[in-house]
Amino acid sequence: MSGGINLAVIGATGAVGQEMLKILAERNFPLKNLLVAADPRETGQKLKFKDQELTVQTASPEFFAQADVALFAVESNISRNLAPVAMENKCLVIDNSNAFRMEEKVPLVVPEVNPEDIKLHQGLIASPNCSTIIMAVAINPIHQAAGIERIVVSTYQAVSGAGAAGIDELTEAVAAYQGGSNIEPIIFQHPIAFNVIPHIDVFEANDYTREEMKMVFETRKIMHADEMRIAATAVRVPVYRSHSEAISIETRIPITPEEARNILQNAPGIVVLDQPGENKYPMPLFTADSDDVFVGRIRKDISVDNGIVLWVAADQVRKGAATNTIQIAEYVVSHNLF
C-alpha cells in the first residue's frame, strides 16, 4: 500500500471490525499501511484484505506507535484500557464503544450532522450508539430547517445489535419453535423467536433503559441541543440485520410533509422511499448492506400542531457503527487532523 496513512483496526476479528475491513476496501480508504489487532488469544490469525493477508497482532505501545489513526471496535472496558495507550503513542483513536461518548472534551460525531466537531478532538473521537446515528441522520435536516423541540421515538432493533450470539440465538429459537420445543434464552431476557422484547440494556432509576437514555443524551450532544425533549422506547425484534425507528417530531416552525420530503431528498446520507400507495417504504430486509439511512411514511403528526412522523430503517452494523467510524476517519485524513 502506497500513500495515505497508517491505520489500525482494533477488534478486527469481531462483527464490526470485519465490516470495517470490508468497507475500507469498498471505499478505497487512503492507506499506507493497515494494521489489525484483536484479543491476544487470536494473535497470529490471518485476515484477508483485498488481495493481501494481514496478521492479527496484540495491541501494545509498540503496535500503536506504528499507526496514525486507530479505529476501535471493542467493548467499553477494552477501549478504556487501550485508548490511553494509543494516545500516549500519538495515535488518534476513533472509538465505537460507549466508553467516552459523554465525556465533555470528546467529540461525539455523525459526519452528516456535526463534522466540524472533529476539529476539536484531543486525540480521541467517539462514534455514537447505532440507534442514535440512524435517528440523527434522519432528523437533522428537519432540525436545521424548522427547529426540533420534541422527539418521541420507538426503535425496532435487530438481533445482530447483540452480536453474533444474538443472531445464533434467534436462529436456534426459530428452529426449536418449529420443532415443537423451546430453548432457554441466554442473550435476550425472553424468547426472541416470534416475539418483541421492550428491553435493551439495563433499566435505569427512571425506568428507561440505558439504551433509551443513550439516545436522549447522545442526540442532544451531537446536535448541540441541550434542551431538546426526547423520549425513547427501545425494542428488540426477531430481525437479523438493520434497525428501524418510528420517529415523531414536534418542530418550532410549521413544516408540511411535502416540505420535509423535499428537505430529506436533498440531505446527505438519506434515501427517501416514500410511496405508500405502491407499498414502498423502508424495511430491514431491503436496507441491509447499505450505508444510507432510508426514510419513508413521512406524514403529519395529527396529534400536535407542528408535528411530522417518519419511519426510518438502516443497517446498524454499517452506518450505525463501521461506516460512521470510517467516515470520521476520512474527514480526519482529508482535513489533516491526525
The residues carrying an active-site annotation are 130, 243
Q: What CA dihedral angle connects 321, 322, 325 and 327, to 10 degrees?
A: -120
Cell numbers 418542530 correspond to 251
**Beta-bridge partner residues of 52:** 49
Query: What is d(CA 17, CA 38) in angstroms, rounded to the nearest whole number?
Result: 9
Closest CA to 72 of 26, 119, 106: 106
Query: What is d(CA 54, CA 64) in angstroms, rounded to the nearest whole number?
Result: 16
CB 219 within 8 A of CB 230: yes
Taking CA atoms, 224 is separated from 116, 252, 260, 278, in Å, by 12, 16, 21, 38
DSSP string across 155-209 = EEE-GGGG-HHHHHHHHHHHHHHHTT-----SSSSS--TT--BS--S-B-TTS-B
